[in-house]
Each structure stands twice: as C-alpha cells, then as structure tokens.
Amino acid sequence: MASNKILVIDDTTVVRVKVREMLPPGNFEVIEAKDGSEGYNLILKEKVSLIMLDFLLPKMSGWEVFQKIQAQPELRKIPLVIMSGRKEEVTEKFVEPFEYFEFLGKPFDQKQLVGAIKSAMVKSKKERPDLNTPPVNPANQQPVPVAVNAVDSSAEIKLLNDKIIKMQGEIDSLKQQLNKVVTFIKQKIK
C-alpha cells in the first residue's frame, strides 16, 4: 500500500488520467475527484500528501475549496498545486507571486508537472501568519485596519457565484460544440 496519496481534483477525465500517467513511479497512490465537493470530502476523509486542484470546477469551485482548506490549520500545510488554463482567473483572486501554493497552467508537460509538485512542497513549508492576527503595514509595522462590510461581501459573493454559473454554462456549451466537432470528424474518417 502506498504511503503517500496525491489527490487530483479536476472535472476533466483527460487531465486526471494525464496527471496519473505523467507522475514518475513512486511510493504513492493517486486518488481522483471530478468536482470540488467530492474533492473537499476526500481531503477531509483521506490523509493526502498533495492536492492538485483545478480552479474552475462544478458543485464547488476551486476557489471555494481553497478557502475551506485555508480555514483549517492542518489542511493549510498540505502542498497544493492550483491548475487552470486561464491564469487570469486565478490572478483575480491571488496576488502573484503565489507564496504558499504553486500554479500550473494547462496544458502542461511532465517536466512542468514535476516542477510544480516540487515547488508546492517547498512553499507548503513556509511559515504563515496566524489567521486571527491583522495584517501589518511593512512601512511602519502598525496593524492595517480591516473594515468588514457584510453587505458588500455578500453582494460580491453573489456576483462571483453568478459569474461562476455563467462560466459553467459557457463551458458546457463549448463541450457540446466540441463533441459535435469530434462526431463530425469521426463520420468523415469512416
């Protein structure tokens, strides 16, 4: 039995299989999840050594999974690779350079995959500030006041959720178009 588990959370079977095939042989087991909700449940249930997380996922987005991981000190220590074919979507949520996780752009090759995993393992060991301590202004070492406006936050969350729903619709539409093209090509090849 493998001592290390790598969890690949991606809604595309091809990507999950590709990651499994590209990983060098070792003492690990690859487990897979096809959506964010299933992936998060596996994170809680299994003792994973590494998480490879697609950013755009059905049921629970990669961003939501990331936030749930970060809310729990034990889970925050797990090396994390965030994958996406649309880096701009990731950089809308995170400021570069990515300090505590690694980003892997799709499509990727074996060298990029292995490099991202190694980098994620190093970054996961970095000391993190306590979540309950306010951020500090480096110029004067004074705490930065954090204003929380619940109305703005809930409105922003609703806008983001609406955007996710719209994007999922666009993704589904593109998948349908791709299936039609593939079917057409298969008919022409016969």
Q: Cα separation of 32 and 123, whole Å? A: 23
Q: Cα separation of 32 and 165, whole Å? A: 23
> Per DSSP, what are the bridge partners of residue 33?
9
Three-class DSSP category at 32: strand
Range name among 14-23, 53-62, 139-148 with the lowest pLDDT average:
139-148
Task: Quote the pTM value.
Answer: 0.63
pLDDT of 108: 86
How crowded is the C-beta side of 144, counted as CA atoms within 13 Å? 7
Give the pair of three-digit tokens for residue 126.
Answer: 């970095």
Q: What pLDDT, in 10s, does the model give residues 64-96?
A: 888 888 888 888 888 888 888 877 777 777 766
Identity of the residue numbered 87: K
pLDDT of 110: 87
Q: Cα separation of 101 and 76, whole Å? A: 10
- 130 has a pLDDT exceeding 80: no
